[in-house]
Amino acid sequence: MKIKIILAFSNSLFSESMGLLLAGDPEMEVCGVLEPGQACSQTELERYPAGIILTDFTSLYNSLPEMDDALRKHHTLLIDSCCGRDNLVSAVLRKKVSGILMSKSDSTLLKKAIKAVHKGEVWLDKSTFKNILHGINAISGDKNTSLSAREKEIVSLIGKGLRNKEIASRLNITETTVKTHLTRIFQKLNIKARSELITYAIKTDYLNQVRPDHEI
Protein backbone atom coordinates (compact mmCIF):
# COMPACT_ATOMS: atom_id res chain seq x y z
CA MET A 1 0.00 0.00 0.00
CA LYS A 2 1.33 3.43 -0.92
CA ILE A 3 2.21 6.00 1.70
CA LYS A 4 -0.41 8.76 1.54
CA ILE A 5 1.16 12.23 1.69
CA ILE A 6 -0.39 15.66 2.25
CA LEU A 7 1.64 18.71 1.27
CA ALA A 8 1.04 21.75 3.50
CA PHE A 9 3.60 24.42 2.71
CA SER A 10 3.49 28.20 2.92
CA ASN A 11 4.91 28.43 -0.61
CA SER A 12 2.95 27.08 -3.59
CA LEU A 13 6.07 26.71 -5.72
CA PHE A 14 7.69 24.58 -3.02
CA SER A 15 4.58 22.38 -2.82
CA GLU A 16 4.64 21.89 -6.59
CA SER A 17 8.35 21.03 -6.57
CA MET A 18 7.91 18.58 -3.71
CA GLY A 19 5.01 16.93 -5.53
CA LEU A 20 7.10 16.45 -8.66
CA LEU A 21 9.94 15.06 -6.59
CA LEU A 22 7.73 12.39 -5.02
CA ALA A 23 5.64 11.63 -8.11
CA GLY A 24 8.04 9.02 -9.48
CA ASP A 25 8.23 6.96 -6.31
CA PRO A 26 6.03 3.82 -6.54
CA GLU A 27 5.75 3.62 -2.75
CA MET A 28 4.34 7.11 -2.25
CA GLU A 29 1.30 9.07 -3.35
CA VAL A 30 0.58 12.76 -2.88
CA CYS A 31 -3.14 12.67 -2.10
CA GLY A 32 -3.62 16.32 -1.20
CA VAL A 33 -2.05 19.74 -1.51
CA LEU A 34 -3.19 22.46 0.89
CA GLU A 35 -3.03 26.00 -0.41
CA PRO A 36 -1.00 28.52 1.60
CA GLY A 37 -3.24 29.90 4.32
CA GLN A 38 -5.26 26.68 4.50
CA ALA A 39 -2.39 24.61 5.85
CA CYS A 40 -3.26 22.69 9.00
CA SER A 41 -6.93 23.69 8.86
CA GLN A 42 -9.07 20.97 10.44
CA THR A 43 -11.63 21.14 7.63
CA GLU A 44 -8.95 20.70 4.99
CA LEU A 45 -7.18 17.87 6.82
CA GLU A 46 -10.40 15.88 7.21
CA ARG A 47 -10.75 15.76 3.41
CA TYR A 48 -7.78 13.44 3.16
CA PRO A 49 -7.05 9.96 4.50
CA ALA A 50 -4.73 9.67 7.49
CA GLY A 51 -1.14 9.63 6.36
CA ILE A 52 1.89 11.91 6.49
CA ILE A 53 1.86 15.69 6.38
CA LEU A 54 4.92 17.38 4.92
CA THR A 55 4.98 20.96 6.13
CA ASP A 56 7.18 23.91 7.02
CA PHE A 57 7.39 25.96 10.19
CA THR A 58 5.20 28.81 8.95
CA SER A 59 2.33 26.52 7.96
CA LEU A 60 2.68 24.44 11.12
CA TYR A 61 2.30 27.48 13.34
CA ASN A 62 -0.56 28.93 11.32
CA SER A 63 -2.71 26.23 12.85
CA LEU A 64 -4.81 27.15 15.87
CA PRO A 65 -4.32 25.25 19.16
CA GLU A 66 -7.69 23.51 18.76
CA MET A 67 -6.48 22.05 15.45
CA ASP A 68 -3.63 20.18 17.11
CA ASP A 69 -5.76 17.07 17.71
CA ALA A 70 -6.54 16.90 13.99
CA LEU A 71 -2.85 17.25 13.21
CA ARG A 72 -1.97 14.38 15.53
CA LYS A 73 -4.16 12.00 13.51
CA HIS A 74 -1.44 12.25 10.89
CA HIS A 75 2.30 11.80 11.19
CA THR A 76 3.93 15.18 10.54
CA LEU A 77 7.35 15.64 8.99
CA LEU A 78 8.64 19.19 9.27
CA ILE A 79 10.88 20.32 6.42
CA ASP A 80 13.36 22.75 7.94
CA SER A 81 13.35 26.13 6.19
CA CYS A 82 16.23 27.52 8.25
CA CYS A 83 13.77 28.60 10.94
CA GLY A 84 16.33 28.26 13.72
CA ARG A 85 17.26 25.63 16.28
CA ASP A 86 14.95 27.05 18.95
CA ASN A 87 11.94 26.78 16.65
CA LEU A 88 12.77 23.19 15.74
CA VAL A 89 12.79 22.18 19.40
CA SER A 90 9.50 24.01 19.91
CA ALA A 91 7.95 22.18 16.92
CA VAL A 92 8.84 18.80 18.41
CA LEU A 93 7.58 19.56 21.91
CA ARG A 94 4.62 21.88 21.29
CA LYS A 95 3.31 20.66 17.94
CA LYS A 96 4.37 17.03 18.40
CA VAL A 97 5.87 16.64 14.94
CA SER A 98 7.10 13.12 14.22
CA GLY A 99 10.28 14.24 12.54
CA ILE A 100 12.39 17.07 11.18
CA LEU A 101 14.26 16.95 7.88
CA MET A 102 17.14 19.41 7.95
CA SER A 103 17.58 21.88 5.10
CA LYS A 104 20.87 20.31 3.98
CA SER A 105 19.18 16.96 3.25
CA ASP A 106 18.77 15.53 -0.28
CA SER A 107 15.86 13.69 -1.93
CA THR A 108 17.17 10.28 -0.87
CA LEU A 109 17.14 11.32 2.78
CA LEU A 110 13.68 12.85 2.32
CA LYS A 111 12.24 9.53 1.21
CA LYS A 112 14.00 7.68 4.03
CA ALA A 113 12.52 10.14 6.53
CA ILE A 114 9.02 9.73 5.08
CA LYS A 115 9.25 5.95 5.32
CA ALA A 116 10.59 6.09 8.87
CA VAL A 117 7.88 8.47 10.08
CA HIS A 118 5.23 6.36 8.34
CA LYS A 119 6.39 3.40 10.44
CA GLY A 120 5.90 5.40 13.60
CA GLU A 121 9.57 6.21 14.11
CA VAL A 122 10.94 9.60 15.17
CA TRP A 123 13.27 11.31 12.69
CA LEU A 124 15.53 13.89 14.37
CA ASP A 125 19.06 15.12 13.76
CA LYS A 126 21.55 14.59 16.58
CA SER A 127 21.78 18.27 17.50
CA THR A 128 18.03 18.74 17.98
CA PHE A 129 17.81 15.51 19.95
CA LYS A 130 20.71 16.59 22.18
CA ASN A 131 19.11 19.96 22.91
CA ILE A 132 15.84 18.30 23.88
CA LEU A 133 17.62 15.72 26.03
CA HIS A 134 19.67 18.34 27.87
CA GLY A 135 16.51 20.31 28.62
CA ILE A 136 14.84 17.21 30.03
CA ASN A 137 17.93 16.40 32.10
CA ALA A 138 17.66 19.85 33.68
CA ILE A 139 14.21 18.85 34.95
CA SER A 140 15.34 15.57 36.49
CA GLY A 141 17.31 17.31 39.22
CA ASP A 142 14.20 19.16 40.46
CA LYS A 143 16.08 22.42 40.04
CA ASN A 144 12.95 24.44 39.28
CA THR A 145 12.51 25.14 42.99
CA SER A 146 15.74 27.19 42.94
CA LEU A 147 14.37 29.64 40.38
CA SER A 148 12.92 32.93 41.58
CA ALA A 149 9.43 34.06 40.58
CA ARG A 150 10.88 36.47 38.01
CA GLU A 151 13.16 33.78 36.59
CA LYS A 152 10.19 31.46 36.19
CA GLU A 153 8.33 34.19 34.31
CA ILE A 154 11.27 34.59 31.95
CA VAL A 155 11.52 30.83 31.41
CA SER A 156 7.82 30.78 30.56
CA LEU A 157 8.18 33.54 27.98
CA ILE A 158 11.24 31.86 26.48
CA GLY A 159 9.11 28.73 26.08
CA LYS A 160 6.51 30.78 24.22
CA GLY A 161 9.13 31.84 21.72
CA LEU A 162 9.73 35.45 22.79
CA ARG A 163 13.13 37.04 22.21
CA ASN A 164 14.97 39.07 24.86
CA LYS A 165 13.69 42.43 23.63
CA GLU A 166 10.08 41.19 23.66
CA ILE A 167 10.48 39.73 27.16
CA ALA A 168 11.86 43.04 28.41
CA SER A 169 8.81 44.84 27.02
CA ARG A 170 6.36 42.32 28.53
CA LEU A 171 7.92 42.50 31.98
CA ASN A 172 8.74 46.23 31.85
CA ILE A 173 12.45 45.65 32.48
CA THR A 174 15.55 46.34 30.41
CA GLU A 175 16.97 43.91 27.89
CA THR A 176 20.20 43.90 29.90
CA THR A 177 18.25 42.74 32.95
CA VAL A 178 16.72 39.92 30.91
CA LYS A 179 20.20 38.80 29.84
CA THR A 180 21.37 38.89 33.46
CA HIS A 181 18.44 36.72 34.54
CA LEU A 182 19.13 34.29 31.69
CA THR A 183 22.76 33.95 32.73
CA ARG A 184 21.67 33.00 36.24
CA ILE A 185 18.98 30.64 34.93
CA PHE A 186 21.47 28.83 32.70
CA GLN A 187 23.85 28.46 35.65
CA LYS A 188 21.16 27.16 38.01
CA LEU A 189 19.85 24.63 35.48
CA ASN A 190 23.29 23.75 34.11
CA ILE A 191 22.23 24.23 30.50
CA LYS A 192 24.03 26.09 27.73
CA ALA A 193 21.57 26.71 24.89
CA ARG A 194 18.30 28.61 24.56
CA SER A 195 16.76 25.62 22.79
CA GLU A 196 17.46 23.51 25.89
CA LEU A 197 15.67 26.12 27.99
CA ILE A 198 12.65 25.88 25.66
CA THR A 199 12.53 22.14 26.37
CA TYR A 200 12.71 22.83 30.08
CA ALA A 201 9.95 25.45 29.91
CA ILE A 202 7.53 23.21 28.03
CA LYS A 203 8.18 20.07 30.04
CA THR A 204 7.84 21.84 33.40
CA ASP A 205 4.59 23.46 32.24
CA TYR A 206 5.93 26.95 32.85
CA LEU A 207 3.94 28.05 29.81
CA ASN A 208 0.86 28.15 32.03
CA GLN A 209 2.52 29.92 34.94
CA VAL A 210 2.82 33.50 33.70
CA ARG A 211 0.69 35.98 35.62
CA PRO A 212 -2.51 37.06 33.74
CA ASP A 213 -1.18 40.59 33.15
CA HIS A 214 1.71 39.04 31.25
CA GLU A 215 -0.32 36.65 29.13
CA ILE A 216 0.30 36.56 25.38
CA distance 203 to 198: 9
Tell me which amino acid residue 153 is: E
Tell me which amino acid residue 180 is: T
Give the pLDDT confidence score for residue 69 in this predicted structure: 62
**Domains, in order of start, for the chain:** 3-124 (3.40.50.2300), 132-214 (1.10.10.10)
Confidence of residue 189 (pLDDT cuts 50, 70, 90): confident
pLDDT greater than 90 at residue 177:
yes
Confidence of residue 206 (pLDDT cuts 50, 70, 90): very low
Q: Is the pTM of this model over 0.75?
A: no
CA distance 121 to 139: 25
Q: What is the pLDDT of residues 61-111, one digit of tens each?
A: 766 454 566 566 678 898 887 777 777 777 777 777 888 898 888 999 999
Q: What is the pLDDT of residues 7-61, one digit of tens each?
A: 888 888 888 999 999 988 999 999 888 877 554 556 666 677 768 889 888 887 7
Going by C-alpha positions, the residue among 139, 169, 138 that lies closest to residue 154 is: 169
Three-state secondary structure call for residue 55: strand
Q: Give the up-direction half-sphere exposure of residue 90: CA atoms within 13 A in the CB hemisphere.
A: 20
Give the pLDDT confidence score for residue 178 in this predicted structure: 95
CA distance 178 to 155: 10
pLDDT greater than 90 at residue 129:
no
Instruction: Please compute the mean of the pLDDT values over residues 110-121 and round it to a whole number.
Output: 91
Dihedral pair phi/psi, residue 27, rounded to 5°: -95, -5
Higher pLDDT residue, 142 or 116?
116
